[in-house]
Amino acid sequence: MTQKWDIVIVGGGLAGYIAANYLSKTNLSILIVEKGKQVGGRARTNKMDQQYLNLGPHALYKKGKAKSILEELGINLHGKSPKLSGILMEDNMEYAAPLAPFELFTTSLLNGKERIEWVSVLLKLMNTDPEKLAELTLQQWVKQTAHSKKVESLLYILGRLATYCHAPEMVSAKVIVANMKNAMGGVLYLDGGWQTIIDQLHNKASLSGVEVKSPTLVKQMKPAQQDHLKLVLSNDEEILAKYVICTTGPHELNEMLVETEQNHFFSKITPVRGATLDVALTKLPNPKRLFAMGITDPLYYSVHSPYARLSDDPKNAVLHVFKYHHPNDTHDRAIVKNELEEFLDQLQPGWQQYVITRRFIPNIIVNQRLPLIGDEQKLQRSKTEIPGLYIAGDWASPHSILADGAVSSGKQAAAEIILNEERKDSANYERRLPTI
Ligand SMILES: Cc1cc2nc3c(=O)[nH]c(=O)nc-3n(C[C@H](O)[C@H](O)[C@H](O)COP(=O)(O)OP(=O)(O)OC[C@H]3O[C@@H](n4cnc5c(N)ncnc54)[C@H](O)[C@@H]3O)c2cc1C
Protein backbone atom coordinates (compact mmCIF):
# COMPACT_ATOMS: atom_id res chain seq x y z
CA MET A 1 0.00 0.00 0.00
CA THR A 2 1.39 3.45 -0.91
CA GLN A 3 1.22 5.67 2.15
CA LYS A 4 -0.59 8.98 1.68
CA TRP A 5 0.25 12.10 3.66
CA ASP A 6 -1.29 15.54 3.56
CA ILE A 7 2.15 17.11 3.93
CA VAL A 8 5.65 15.70 3.49
CA ILE A 9 8.50 17.94 4.58
CA VAL A 10 11.83 17.03 3.01
CA GLY A 11 14.59 17.89 5.50
CA GLY A 12 14.59 17.98 9.29
CA GLY A 13 16.57 21.18 9.82
CA LEU A 14 15.36 24.52 11.15
CA ALA A 15 13.12 25.34 8.17
CA GLY A 16 11.49 21.89 8.16
CA TYR A 17 10.79 21.85 11.90
CA ILE A 18 9.43 25.41 11.91
CA ALA A 19 7.03 24.54 9.08
CA ALA A 20 6.02 21.34 10.91
CA ASN A 21 5.31 23.21 14.13
CA TYR A 22 3.01 25.74 12.46
CA LEU A 23 1.26 23.06 10.41
CA SER A 24 0.82 20.79 13.43
CA LYS A 25 -1.86 23.21 14.62
CA THR A 26 -4.07 21.98 11.71
CA ASN A 27 -5.52 18.49 11.42
CA LEU A 28 -3.38 17.64 8.39
CA SER A 29 -1.12 14.57 8.57
CA ILE A 30 2.56 15.52 8.47
CA LEU A 31 5.73 13.52 7.81
CA ILE A 32 9.28 14.86 7.95
CA VAL A 33 11.80 12.85 5.89
CA GLU A 34 15.43 13.48 6.91
CA LYS A 35 18.42 11.87 5.27
CA GLY A 36 20.75 12.33 8.27
CA LYS A 37 20.99 9.99 11.27
CA GLN A 38 20.59 13.00 13.54
CA VAL A 39 17.95 15.65 12.85
CA GLY A 40 18.81 19.35 12.87
CA GLY A 41 20.68 19.86 9.61
CA ARG A 42 23.23 22.63 9.97
CA ALA A 43 21.72 23.67 13.32
CA ARG A 44 22.76 20.41 14.92
CA THR A 45 25.25 20.21 17.78
CA ASN A 46 27.56 17.24 18.24
CA LYS A 47 28.46 16.04 21.71
CA MET A 48 32.14 15.13 21.44
CA ASP A 49 34.04 14.07 24.58
CA GLN A 50 31.43 15.80 26.79
CA GLN A 51 31.77 19.05 24.81
CA TYR A 52 28.91 20.51 22.78
CA LEU A 53 30.16 21.59 19.36
CA ASN A 54 27.90 23.48 17.01
CA LEU A 55 28.65 23.01 13.34
CA GLY A 56 30.89 26.08 13.25
CA PRO A 57 30.25 29.30 15.14
CA HIS A 58 26.51 29.87 15.64
CA ALA A 59 25.10 33.14 16.94
CA LEU A 60 21.41 34.00 17.08
CA TYR A 61 20.61 37.61 16.16
CA LYS A 62 18.63 39.24 18.95
CA LYS A 63 16.86 41.52 16.48
CA GLY A 64 16.45 38.88 13.78
CA LYS A 65 13.29 37.15 12.59
CA ALA A 66 14.36 33.70 13.82
CA LYS A 67 14.42 34.69 17.47
CA SER A 68 10.94 36.23 17.44
CA ILE A 69 9.40 33.31 15.50
CA LEU A 70 11.05 30.76 17.81
CA GLU A 71 9.69 32.64 20.82
CA GLU A 72 6.25 32.77 19.22
CA LEU A 73 6.43 28.95 19.10
CA GLY A 74 7.36 28.81 22.78
CA ILE A 75 11.00 27.78 22.28
CA ASN A 76 13.25 28.64 25.24
CA LEU A 77 16.49 30.33 24.23
CA HIS A 78 19.01 30.30 27.07
CA GLY A 79 22.41 31.88 26.70
CA LYS A 80 24.25 35.16 26.89
CA SER A 81 25.46 37.88 24.54
CA PRO A 82 29.19 38.08 23.86
CA LYS A 83 30.88 41.41 24.42
CA LEU A 84 31.60 43.38 21.25
CA SER A 85 35.17 44.03 22.35
CA GLY A 86 38.01 42.08 20.80
CA ILE A 87 40.91 42.55 18.44
CA LEU A 88 41.50 43.03 14.73
CA MET A 89 44.67 41.59 13.21
CA GLU A 90 46.82 42.44 10.23
CA ASP A 91 50.47 41.59 9.45
CA ASN A 92 51.04 40.26 12.99
CA MET A 93 49.80 43.55 14.45
CA GLU A 94 46.85 43.68 16.84
CA TYR A 95 44.38 46.52 17.27
CA ALA A 96 41.39 46.93 19.57
CA ALA A 97 38.28 46.36 17.42
CA PRO A 98 36.28 49.62 17.29
CA LEU A 99 32.93 47.89 17.67
CA ALA A 100 32.25 48.67 21.35
CA PRO A 101 32.09 52.27 22.71
CA PHE A 102 35.37 52.17 24.69
CA GLU A 103 37.42 50.69 21.82
CA LEU A 104 35.80 53.10 19.38
CA PHE A 105 37.55 55.97 21.13
CA THR A 106 40.79 54.24 22.09
CA THR A 107 41.81 51.94 19.25
CA SER A 108 45.14 52.65 17.61
CA LEU A 109 43.75 51.33 14.33
CA LEU A 110 42.16 54.68 13.51
CA ASN A 111 43.55 58.21 13.56
CA GLY A 112 41.37 61.12 14.74
CA LYS A 113 39.82 61.80 11.33
CA GLU A 114 39.11 58.11 10.65
CA ARG A 115 37.58 57.74 14.11
CA ILE A 116 35.09 60.55 13.44
CA GLU A 117 34.32 59.07 10.04
CA TRP A 118 33.75 55.59 11.49
CA VAL A 119 31.37 56.91 14.16
CA SER A 120 29.36 58.82 11.56
CA VAL A 121 29.30 55.77 9.21
CA LEU A 122 28.00 53.59 12.06
CA LEU A 123 25.25 56.13 12.78
CA LYS A 124 24.43 56.28 9.07
CA LEU A 125 24.29 52.49 8.91
CA MET A 126 21.82 52.35 11.79
CA ASN A 127 19.58 54.89 10.01
CA THR A 128 19.83 53.38 6.52
CA ASP A 129 16.74 51.80 5.01
CA PRO A 130 18.09 48.60 3.35
CA GLU A 131 15.13 48.58 0.94
CA LYS A 132 16.69 51.61 -0.75
CA LEU A 133 19.86 49.62 -1.51
CA ALA A 134 18.14 46.96 -3.64
CA GLU A 135 20.02 47.98 -6.80
CA LEU A 136 23.51 48.15 -5.25
CA THR A 137 26.20 45.63 -4.48
CA LEU A 138 27.81 45.84 -1.04
CA GLN A 139 30.98 47.17 -2.66
CA GLN A 140 29.09 49.99 -4.39
CA TRP A 141 27.38 50.94 -1.14
CA VAL A 142 30.67 50.88 0.79
CA LYS A 143 32.35 53.11 -1.82
CA GLN A 144 29.46 55.59 -1.52
CA THR A 145 29.50 55.49 2.28
CA ALA A 146 33.17 55.43 3.32
CA HIS A 147 36.05 57.70 2.30
CA SER A 148 39.04 56.16 4.05
CA LYS A 149 40.40 52.68 3.32
CA LYS A 150 40.31 51.82 7.04
CA VAL A 151 36.59 52.58 7.31
CA GLU A 152 35.96 50.60 4.12
CA SER A 153 37.74 47.59 5.66
CA LEU A 154 35.74 47.94 8.86
CA LEU A 155 32.49 47.82 6.88
CA TYR A 156 33.66 44.70 5.05
CA ILE A 157 34.62 43.06 8.38
CA LEU A 158 31.19 43.85 9.81
CA GLY A 159 29.57 42.52 6.63
CA ARG A 160 31.47 39.21 6.90
CA LEU A 161 30.74 38.90 10.60
CA ALA A 162 27.01 39.51 10.10
CA THR A 163 26.44 37.40 6.97
CA TYR A 164 29.42 35.07 6.33
CA CYS A 165 29.42 36.50 2.78
CA HIS A 166 32.86 37.36 1.44
CA ALA A 167 32.14 38.67 -2.04
CA PRO A 168 31.31 42.38 -1.67
CA GLU A 169 31.48 42.90 -5.44
CA MET A 170 28.69 40.34 -5.94
CA VAL A 171 26.29 40.46 -3.00
CA SER A 172 23.21 42.60 -2.60
CA ALA A 173 23.79 45.59 -0.30
CA LYS A 174 20.16 45.37 0.75
CA VAL A 175 20.50 41.96 2.39
CA ILE A 176 23.98 42.51 3.83
CA VAL A 177 23.19 45.93 5.32
CA ALA A 178 19.95 44.63 6.86
CA ASN A 179 21.99 41.86 8.53
CA MET A 180 24.71 44.30 9.63
CA LYS A 181 22.02 46.34 11.37
CA ASN A 182 20.70 43.17 13.02
CA ALA A 183 24.20 42.21 14.13
CA MET A 184 24.66 45.62 15.77
CA GLY A 185 21.65 44.68 17.93
CA GLY A 186 23.72 41.87 19.48
CA VAL A 187 23.64 38.09 19.35
CA LEU A 188 23.10 35.17 21.71
CA TYR A 189 25.33 32.12 22.11
CA LEU A 190 23.07 29.28 23.26
CA ASP A 191 23.55 26.97 26.26
CA GLY A 192 23.86 23.40 24.98
CA GLY A 193 24.23 24.67 21.39
CA TRP A 194 21.65 25.06 18.65
CA GLN A 195 20.56 21.44 19.02
CA THR A 196 18.48 22.70 21.96
CA ILE A 197 16.33 24.64 19.47
CA ILE A 198 15.93 21.58 17.26
CA ASP A 199 15.16 19.27 20.20
CA GLN A 200 12.41 21.56 21.47
CA LEU A 201 10.92 21.96 17.97
CA HIS A 202 11.12 18.19 17.47
CA ASN A 203 9.43 17.39 20.81
CA LYS A 204 6.61 19.87 20.24
CA ALA A 205 6.02 18.59 16.70
CA SER A 206 6.08 14.93 17.82
CA LEU A 207 3.61 15.62 20.63
CA SER A 208 1.27 17.16 18.05
CA GLY A 209 1.44 14.04 15.89
CA VAL A 210 4.14 14.94 13.35
CA GLU A 211 6.07 11.83 12.30
CA VAL A 212 9.77 11.79 11.44
CA LYS A 213 11.41 9.24 9.16
CA SER A 214 15.22 9.19 9.40
CA PRO A 215 17.74 8.33 8.14
CA THR A 216 15.84 8.33 4.85
CA LEU A 217 16.69 10.20 1.69
CA VAL A 218 14.15 11.45 -0.82
CA LYS A 219 15.56 10.33 -4.18
CA GLN A 220 12.89 11.57 -6.53
CA MET A 221 9.77 13.65 -6.63
CA LYS A 222 7.22 13.88 -9.42
CA PRO A 223 3.58 14.86 -9.97
CA ALA A 224 1.17 11.92 -9.58
CA GLN A 225 -2.55 11.37 -10.06
CA GLN A 226 -5.24 13.27 -8.09
CA ASP A 227 -3.15 16.39 -7.50
CA HIS A 228 -0.60 14.52 -5.43
CA LEU A 229 3.18 14.39 -5.58
CA LYS A 230 4.93 11.04 -5.53
CA LEU A 231 8.18 10.76 -3.56
CA VAL A 232 10.60 7.89 -4.01
CA LEU A 233 12.66 7.20 -0.87
CA SER A 234 16.13 5.69 -0.49
CA ASN A 235 14.63 2.26 0.33
CA ASP A 236 12.61 2.54 -2.93
CA GLU A 237 9.41 2.99 -0.95
CA GLU A 238 6.98 5.36 -2.66
CA ILE A 239 4.79 7.79 -0.75
CA LEU A 240 2.16 10.28 -1.89
CA ALA A 241 1.68 13.79 -0.59
CA LYS A 242 -0.88 16.50 -1.22
CA TYR A 243 1.76 19.11 -0.34
CA VAL A 244 5.55 18.85 -0.21
CA ILE A 245 7.73 21.44 1.51
CA CYS A 246 11.26 20.98 0.28
CA THR A 247 13.92 22.43 2.59
CA THR A 248 16.99 20.93 0.90
CA GLY A 249 19.35 23.12 -1.08
CA PRO A 250 18.21 24.35 -4.51
CA HIS A 251 20.53 21.99 -6.42
CA GLU A 252 19.38 18.96 -4.41
CA LEU A 253 15.79 19.95 -5.17
CA ASN A 254 16.50 20.16 -8.90
CA GLU A 255 18.12 16.71 -8.77
CA MET A 256 15.01 15.26 -7.15
CA LEU A 257 12.78 16.69 -9.86
CA VAL A 258 13.57 14.11 -12.51
CA GLU A 259 11.14 13.96 -15.42
CA THR A 260 9.82 17.35 -14.29
CA GLU A 261 10.74 20.78 -15.56
CA GLN A 262 13.68 21.94 -13.46
CA ASN A 263 13.89 25.47 -12.16
CA HIS A 264 16.45 27.47 -14.08
CA PHE A 265 16.95 30.03 -11.30
CA PHE A 266 17.59 27.30 -8.70
CA SER A 267 20.35 25.81 -10.85
CA LYS A 268 22.19 29.14 -10.89
CA ILE A 269 22.25 29.69 -7.14
CA THR A 270 25.72 29.76 -5.55
CA PRO A 271 26.15 28.88 -1.87
CA VAL A 272 28.07 30.78 0.82
CA ARG A 273 30.89 28.58 2.09
CA GLY A 274 33.60 28.60 4.70
CA ALA A 275 36.04 26.48 6.68
CA THR A 276 35.60 25.88 10.38
CA LEU A 277 37.91 24.65 13.13
CA ASP A 278 35.82 23.82 16.20
CA VAL A 279 37.92 23.26 19.32
CA ALA A 280 37.41 22.40 23.00
CA LEU A 281 40.30 23.04 25.40
CA THR A 282 40.85 22.29 29.10
CA LYS A 283 42.03 25.89 29.41
CA LEU A 284 42.76 28.97 27.36
CA PRO A 285 46.45 29.88 27.40
CA ASN A 286 45.37 33.51 27.13
CA PRO A 287 41.99 33.78 28.89
CA LYS A 288 41.51 37.43 27.97
CA ARG A 289 41.49 36.79 24.23
CA LEU A 290 37.89 36.00 23.41
CA PHE A 291 37.23 37.51 19.99
CA ALA A 292 39.31 38.43 16.95
CA MET A 293 38.98 38.99 13.22
CA GLY A 294 41.45 39.48 10.40
CA ILE A 295 41.36 42.93 8.80
CA THR A 296 42.20 41.84 5.25
CA ASP A 297 42.42 38.09 5.85
CA PRO A 298 38.84 36.78 6.01
CA LEU A 299 39.33 35.08 9.40
CA TYR A 300 37.20 34.87 12.56
CA TYR A 301 37.89 33.60 16.07
CA SER A 302 35.55 33.55 19.03
CA VAL A 303 35.41 31.71 22.35
CA HIS A 304 31.75 30.88 22.89
CA SER A 305 31.93 29.10 26.25
CA PRO A 306 32.15 32.18 28.53
CA TYR A 307 28.66 33.08 27.34
CA ALA A 308 27.06 29.68 26.81
CA ARG A 309 27.27 26.34 28.62
CA LEU A 310 28.98 24.17 26.00
CA SER A 311 30.81 21.68 28.18
CA ASP A 312 29.95 19.44 31.13
CA ASP A 313 32.96 21.02 32.86
CA PRO A 314 32.58 24.81 33.17
CA LYS A 315 36.38 25.26 33.25
CA ASN A 316 36.72 24.04 29.66
CA ALA A 317 36.72 26.44 26.72
CA VAL A 318 34.86 25.91 23.43
CA LEU A 319 35.93 28.12 20.55
CA HIS A 320 35.58 28.42 16.80
CA VAL A 321 38.07 29.62 14.18
CA PHE A 322 36.54 30.26 10.78
CA LYS A 323 37.60 31.26 7.28
CA TYR A 324 35.11 32.97 4.98
CA HIS A 325 35.50 31.56 1.45
CA HIS A 326 35.10 33.67 -1.68
CA PRO A 327 32.74 31.83 -4.08
CA ASN A 328 35.28 31.92 -6.92
CA ASP A 329 38.23 30.62 -4.91
CA THR A 330 39.41 27.03 -4.79
CA HIS A 331 40.54 25.69 -1.42
CA ASP A 332 43.32 23.31 -0.57
CA ARG A 333 42.31 21.42 2.57
CA ALA A 334 45.82 21.33 4.09
CA ILE A 335 46.55 25.00 3.38
CA VAL A 336 43.24 26.18 4.88
CA LYS A 337 43.73 23.98 7.96
CA ASN A 338 47.17 25.42 8.46
CA GLU A 339 45.86 28.96 8.06
CA LEU A 340 43.21 28.44 10.76
CA GLU A 341 45.66 26.76 13.13
CA GLU A 342 48.22 29.53 12.66
CA PHE A 343 45.57 32.14 13.40
CA LEU A 344 44.77 30.27 16.63
CA ASP A 345 48.51 29.97 17.43
CA GLN A 346 48.77 33.75 17.31
CA LEU A 347 45.79 34.21 19.62
CA GLN A 348 46.27 31.27 21.98
CA PRO A 349 49.93 30.18 21.80
CA GLY A 350 50.34 26.59 22.99
CA TRP A 351 46.62 25.73 22.61
CA GLN A 352 47.48 22.32 21.12
CA GLN A 353 48.57 21.07 24.60
CA TYR A 354 45.07 21.57 26.00
CA VAL A 355 42.93 19.99 23.28
CA ILE A 356 40.03 17.84 24.50
CA THR A 357 38.47 17.50 21.08
CA ARG A 358 38.65 19.26 17.72
CA ARG A 359 37.03 19.11 14.32
CA PHE A 360 38.04 20.72 11.02
CA ILE A 361 35.59 21.10 8.12
CA PRO A 362 37.30 22.65 5.08
CA ASN A 363 34.37 23.65 2.89
CA ILE A 364 30.98 23.77 4.54
CA ILE A 365 27.85 25.46 3.18
CA VAL A 366 26.87 28.19 5.60
CA ASN A 367 23.98 29.57 3.57
CA GLN A 368 22.57 27.87 0.49
CA ARG A 369 22.32 31.16 -1.45
CA LEU A 370 24.81 33.97 -1.91
CA PRO A 371 22.27 36.83 -1.92
CA LEU A 372 22.51 38.66 -5.25
CA ILE A 373 20.74 41.77 -6.51
CA GLY A 374 17.23 40.94 -7.65
CA ASP A 375 17.02 37.44 -6.11
CA GLU A 376 14.03 38.55 -4.05
CA GLN A 377 11.91 38.97 -7.22
CA LYS A 378 12.20 35.21 -7.81
CA LEU A 379 11.50 34.20 -4.23
CA GLN A 380 8.32 36.08 -3.43
CA ARG A 381 6.31 32.97 -2.60
CA SER A 382 7.07 29.53 -1.20
CA LYS A 383 4.70 27.99 -3.72
CA THR A 384 6.49 26.81 -6.87
CA GLU A 385 5.24 26.23 -10.41
CA ILE A 386 4.89 22.53 -9.63
CA PRO A 387 1.44 22.03 -8.08
CA GLY A 388 1.69 21.11 -4.40
CA LEU A 389 5.43 21.84 -4.13
CA TYR A 390 6.60 24.58 -1.74
CA ILE A 391 10.14 25.64 -0.87
CA ALA A 392 11.72 26.74 2.41
CA GLY A 393 15.27 26.96 3.76
CA ASP A 394 17.90 29.63 4.28
CA TRP A 395 18.06 30.24 0.51
CA ALA A 396 14.32 30.50 -0.06
CA SER A 397 13.47 33.66 1.83
CA PRO A 398 13.35 36.82 -0.32
CA HIS A 399 14.84 39.17 2.29
CA SER A 400 16.70 37.11 4.89
CA ILE A 401 19.54 34.60 5.00
CA LEU A 402 21.03 32.21 7.61
CA ALA A 403 18.74 31.11 10.46
CA ASP A 404 16.51 34.14 9.89
CA GLY A 405 15.97 32.99 6.29
CA ALA A 406 15.44 29.33 7.26
CA VAL A 407 12.99 30.11 10.04
CA SER A 408 10.98 32.80 8.26
CA SER A 409 10.69 30.74 5.07
CA GLY A 410 9.53 27.70 7.09
CA LYS A 411 6.79 29.82 8.63
CA GLN A 412 5.90 31.32 5.22
CA ALA A 413 5.53 27.91 3.55
CA ALA A 414 3.28 26.71 6.38
CA ALA A 415 1.17 29.90 6.19
CA GLU A 416 0.69 29.52 2.41
CA ILE A 417 -0.48 25.91 2.79
CA ILE A 418 -2.84 26.79 5.63
CA LEU A 419 -4.29 29.62 3.53
CA ASN A 420 -4.71 27.30 0.54
CA GLU A 421 -6.57 24.76 2.69
CA GLU A 422 -8.81 27.48 4.15
CA ARG A 423 -9.64 28.73 0.65
CA LYS A 424 -10.51 25.21 -0.46
CA ASP A 425 -12.67 24.69 2.64
CA SER A 426 -14.58 27.93 2.13
CA ALA A 427 -15.06 27.16 -1.61
CA ASN A 428 -16.43 23.71 -0.67
CA TYR A 429 -18.66 25.29 1.97
CA GLU A 430 -20.03 27.83 -0.51
CA ARG A 431 -20.68 25.04 -3.01
CA ARG A 432 -22.70 23.19 -0.36
CA LEU A 433 -24.81 26.27 0.53
CA PRO A 434 -28.39 25.93 -0.70
CA THR A 435 -29.27 28.42 -3.46
CA ILE A 436 -32.24 30.56 -2.55
C1 LIG B 1 29.60 27.06 9.93
C2 LIG B 1 28.23 27.65 10.02
C3 LIG B 1 28.01 28.76 10.81
C4 LIG B 1 26.73 29.33 10.87
N5 LIG B 1 26.51 30.40 11.69
C6 LIG B 1 25.30 30.96 11.78
C7 LIG B 1 25.06 32.05 12.63
O8 LIG B 1 25.94 32.49 13.36
N9 LIG B 1 23.83 32.59 12.65
C10 LIG B 1 22.81 32.13 11.86
O11 LIG B 1 21.72 32.68 11.90
N12 LIG B 1 23.01 31.08 11.03
C13 LIG B 1 24.23 30.50 10.98
N14 LIG B 1 24.44 29.43 10.15
C15 LIG B 1 23.40 29.05 9.21
C16 LIG B 1 22.32 28.15 9.81
O17 LIG B 1 22.90 27.04 10.46
C18 LIG B 1 21.48 27.65 8.62
O19 LIG B 1 21.04 28.76 7.86
C20 LIG B 1 20.26 26.87 9.04
O21 LIG B 1 20.57 25.91 10.01
C22 LIG B 1 19.69 26.22 7.78
O23 LIG B 1 18.51 25.50 8.06
P24 LIG B 1 17.72 24.83 6.86
O25 LIG B 1 16.61 24.08 7.45
O26 LIG B 1 17.43 25.85 5.82
O27 LIG B 1 18.76 23.86 6.15
P28 LIG B 1 19.50 22.55 6.74
O29 LIG B 1 19.83 22.75 8.15
O30 LIG B 1 20.59 22.25 5.79
O31 LIG B 1 18.37 21.44 6.65
C32 LIG B 1 18.08 20.75 5.47
C33 LIG B 1 17.96 19.29 5.83
O34 LIG B 1 17.57 18.57 4.65
C35 LIG B 1 18.20 17.30 4.70
N36 LIG B 1 18.19 16.78 3.33
C37 LIG B 1 18.87 17.25 2.26
N38 LIG B 1 18.55 16.53 1.16
C39 LIG B 1 17.65 15.60 1.54
C40 LIG B 1 16.96 14.56 0.86
N41 LIG B 1 17.12 14.37 -0.45
N42 LIG B 1 16.12 13.79 1.57
C43 LIG B 1 15.93 13.97 2.91
N44 LIG B 1 16.57 14.95 3.60
C45 LIG B 1 17.42 15.74 2.93
C46 LIG B 1 19.59 17.61 5.24
O47 LIG B 1 20.20 16.46 5.78
C48 LIG B 1 19.27 18.67 6.29
O49 LIG B 1 19.08 18.09 7.56
C50 LIG B 1 25.69 28.80 10.10
C51 LIG B 1 25.91 27.65 9.33
C52 LIG B 1 27.15 27.07 9.31
C53 LIG B 1 27.37 25.83 8.49
- Among protein residues, the one with the nearest Cα to ligand 1's atom 6 is 58
Query: In which residue ranges of the chain is pLDDT below 50?
Result: none
pLDDT for position 435: 54
pLDDT at 428: 76
**End-to-end C-alpha distance for the chain, whole angstroms:** 44
Asked if the domains 45-62+79-84+186-191+272-367 and 99-180 are classified in one and the same CATH topology, the answer is no
Of 388, 405, 400, 410, nearest to 24 by C-alpha is 410
Residue 163 to residue 178: CA distance in whole angstroms: 10
- In the prediction, which pLDDT does 101 show? 85
CB of 186 within 6 A of ligand 1: the answer is no
Which CATH number applies to 99-180?
A: 1.10.405
Give, using CA atoms, the residue closest to atom 48 of ligand 1: 41
In sequence order, the 6+-apart residues with CB closer than 8 A to the CB of 207 are none
Query: Is residue 182 lining ligand 1, measured as CB closer than 6 Å?
Result: no
**Interstrand relation of 355-367 and 272-281 (parallel, antiparallel or unpaired):** antiparallel
Domain positions in the chain are 3-44+194-270+372-429, 45-62+79-84+186-191+272-367, 99-180
The CATH code of the domain at 3-44+194-270+372-429 is 3.50.50.60
Query: What confidence score (pLDDT) does residue 264 get?
Result: 84
E strands, 350-422, are 355-367, 389-391
Would you state the pLDDT for residue 100? 86
Q: Is it true that domain 45-62+79-84+186-191+272-367 has CATH number 3.90.660.10?
A: yes
Q: What is the pLDDT of residue 37?
A: 95
Cβ-Cβ contacts under 8 Å for 269 (sequence gap 6 or more): 250, 251, 368, 369, 370, 395
What is the reported pLDDT for 434? Answer: 58
What's the rounded Cα separation, in Å, for the pair 7 and 245? 7
Crossing angle of helices 173-184 and 149-163, rounded to 10°: 80
Ligand 1 centroid, distance to 395 Cα (angstroms): 10
Ligand 1 pocket residue status of 43, Cβ below 6 Å: yes
- Residues 6 or more apart whose CB falls under 8 angstroms from that of 66 comprise 14, 60, 403, 404, 406, 407, 408
Share of the chain above pLDDT 70, in %: 99
Q: Residues 79, 307: contact at Cβ < 8 Å?
A: yes
Helix (H, G, I), strand (E, B) or coil at 304: coil
Amino acid 89 reads M
> In this predicted structure, what is the pLDDT of residue 262?
72
